[in-house]
Amino acid sequence: MEVSFYDLSGQAEIPSALLQRTESDLSFFSEKVTPIIEEVRTHGDQALIDFAIKFDGVTVPTFSVKAQPSEFEAAFASLDPEVIETIRYSVENVRAFHEAQKPEEMWLKEMRPGAFAGDRHVPIEAVACYVPRGKGSFPSVLIMTAVPAVVAGVPKPIIITPPGPDGTVDAATLVAAQLVGIEEVYKCGGAQGVAAVAFGTESVPKCLKIVGPGSPWVVAAKQQLTHLLDPGVPAGPSESIILADETVDGKIAALDLLIESEHGPDSSAYLVTHSKAVADAAINALPDYWQQIEPKRMEFSQAVLCGHHGGVILTDSFEKAIEFVNAYAPEHLEILAKEPMSVMPKIHNAGEILLGNYTPISLGNFVLGPNAVLPTNAKAKTAGPLSVFDYMKRISVGYVTEAGYAELAQHANRFAHYEGFSGHALAVSKLRDQLLKGDSHES
């Protein structure tokens, strides 16, 4: 298979096709998820079991939608102790990052003498963390979605994830949940899982928000249920750009191209460079790398890098390569350059920026600490990574003392009269002064 190669030399405009993702058009999925959502709304747990058999390949006729304590115990017993150690290591790093990120519960600033204003940060009452499973098992996603929920103090954080063929949850996912501190894990994924937390079922509690990456089925269901459920950071199929200058070893750039391209055929992954030598070296290195990864992952990576949503892009200059990055607004961005720190200020649109040869996306995805649930489909132009803030809401706070009131009231009264709000004006008029003094007989 040939790696897709796009030579943009001499082109003033970036071809719009290169900026498209597989989730750009969800019309097919939107039509298909509507009856799924309705079935869950109507039949609850039974619909979840039926869809697990139909879509997730579950071979048992019935199973507990909620993971039981015995399943957690079995997960710990079956998992390699070294894997448990790595999960614990990741949880510690991700927790430390989000604890540092967490805002103070309340702040107040004296805006004028005797007049205070600020914010209170309050956790959202119930949040569902979505952990996909269709193309593998992802305890790392559980860590990234659940740790900030716990750090934020969400009273009811839950996990939803598709069941395996035997109606159970992946062992590492259950171990990660318990190490994070969440005991409520429910076996439902896809559009039906989103519907379950939007409506609530006999087993699955209704939630106010859902976070985590998912397939176009999940994205389409979130869109249809936004009137019931906050869909969180727009995280769809994986995407990455490896930005390389002329000093980079193309073999390293190719190595990092594999990372997101192996997620699935709906992913996107590009190497963008102005160096023909780097581009050629990367293209030549990929066939050997493909032979060193699992056949399924090789198939996924080839589908992306040899298809319409991945490959190698050659530009006239490094400035043009940066221009492409900002136009694309990738979920993951690696900067491989002689001075990556000097390049970073020129990047305005990216979910995350990983700097230099020693910071491959793999570290960010699993153990570095910053959240790896990132905006996709160019949403990085307006949104950022999942954070502790996504599990909290901000409430404005104001407090004015008797000494500070008069000055503010004078200006508020003037504004109210100008905008024609006589009720506003009356509330900060001399009438209020008289009432506060206990004289309610004068007007």
Given 332, 334, 352, 411, which residue is catalytic? Answer: 332
DSSP designation for 2: P
442 band by pLDDT with thresholds 50, 70 and 90: very low
Based on the residue annotation, tell me whether 274 is a catalytic residue of this protein.
Answer: no
Domain map of the chain by residue range?
5-21+237-369, 27-106+123-235, 401-436
Q: Which residue has the higher pLDDT, 440 or 25?
A: 25
pLDDT at position 26 is 79
Beta-strand pair 156-161/185-187? parallel
pLDDT at position 134 is 72
* Average pLDDT of span 82-92: 98
Instruction: Say if CB 250 and CB 286 are below 8 A apart.
Output: no
What is the spatial distance between Cα 88 and Cα 179, in angstroms, rounded to a whole number? Answer: 7
Instruction: Say if CB 406 and CB 414 are below 8 A apart.
Output: no
Domains 5-21+237-369 and 27-106+123-235 belong to one CATH topology: yes
User: What is the maximum alpha-carbon separation in the chain?
Assistant: 91
399 band by pLDDT with thresholds 50, 70 and 90: very high
Residue 426 pLDDT > 60: yes
What is the spatial distance between Cα 173 and Cα 81, in angstroms, rounded to a whole number? Answer: 14
Residue 51 pLDDT > 50: yes
SS3 334: strand
DSSP 389-437: GGGEEEEEEEEE-HHHHHHHHHHHHHHHHHHT-HHHHHHTSHHHHHHHT
* Average pLDDT of span 205-229: 94
Based on the residue annotation, tell me whether 332 is a catalytic residue of this protein.
Answer: yes
pLDDT at position 443 is 42
Given 23, 260, 262, 331, which residue is catalytic? Answer: 331
Global pTM reads 0.91
pLDDT at position 331 is 97
Residue 175 pLDDT > 90: yes
Residue range 27-106+123-235, CATH number: 3.40.50.1980
Any idea which of 46-50, 106-110, 135-139, 399-403 has the lowest mean pLDDT? 135-139
* Average pLDDT of span 408-428: 98
* Average pLDDT of span 179-208: 97
pLDDT at position 4 is 98
| pLDDT tens digits along 21-38 | 876 677 889 999 999 999
Q: What are the phi and psi torsion angles at 242 (to 5°)?
A: -105, 110
The closest alpha carbon to 147, from 88, 204, 235, belongs to 88
pLDDT at position 22 is 77
Task: Give percent above pLDDT 70 in the chain.
Answer: 98
Using alpha carbons, list the distances in angstroms from residue 392 to 136, 151, 232, 322, 418: 30, 10, 12, 34, 36
Residue 243 pLDDT > 90: yes
- Tell me how far the alpha carbon of residue 130 is from its chain's centroid: 10
Burial class (CB in 10 A: 0-12, 13-18, 19+), 14: middle
CATH topology of domain 5-21+237-369: Rossmann fold (3.40.50)
